[in-house]
Amino acid sequence: SQTIHQWPATLVQPVGSPLSLECTVEGTSNPNLYWYRQAAGRGLQLLFYSVGIGQISSEVPQNLSASRPQDRQFILSSKKLLLSDSGFYLCAWSIPQGVNSPLHFGNGTRLTVT
């Protein structure tokens, strides 16, 4: 069966520090991978999605970036965190059948930038 691992579960970082959140999927090949941010009252915002190694689509221009160094690994990064980066970050995957596949979510990372 497929599983998705996301870590860390919680993170407190000072403003200006770097960020690296990692997400890995097991039990499937060439999944579509996604990073979402869930902010209070604002629902789920799509940040990045990837349909293959090295292929990243960015939905929001900001100081976050994503990388997919391996087929089932998706990393969310920042060189310098801002206070506004605080939120709940969710990694998700879907099978590569485009629109017909629901998302499967990781446990999420609660990021607090102080």
Partner 1 sequence: AQSVSQHNHHVILSEAASLELGCNYSYGGTVNLFWYVQYPGQHLQLLLKYFSGDPLVKGIKGFEAEFIKSKFSFNLRKPSVQWSDTAEYFCAVTALNDMRFGAGTRLTVKP
Q: Give residues in contact with partner 1 (CB under 8 A).
A: 32, 34, 36, 41-46, 49, 51, 57, 59, 90, 94, 98-100, 102-103, 105-108
Compare residues 13 and 105 and give the one whose CB is closer to partner 1: 105
Compare residues 86 and 94 and give the one whose CB is closer to partner 1: 94
Task: Kindly state the smallest distance separating residue 41's Cβ from partner 1, in Å.
Answer: 7
Across 43-65, b (16+ Cβ under 10 Å) vs e yields eeeebbbbeeeeebeeeeeeebe
Task: Kindly state the smallest distance separating residue 38's Cβ from partner 1, in Å.
Answer: 8
Across 3-41, b (16+ Cβ under 10 Å) vs e yields ebebeeeebebeeeeebebebbbeebeebbbbbbbeeee
CB 35 within 8 A of CB 91: yes
Task: Kindly state the smallest distance separating residue 10's Cβ from partner 1, in Å.
Answer: 13
Compare residues 14 and 41 and give the one whose CB is closer to partner 1: 41
Task: Kindly state the smallest distance separating residue 105's Cβ from partner 1, in Å.
Answer: 5
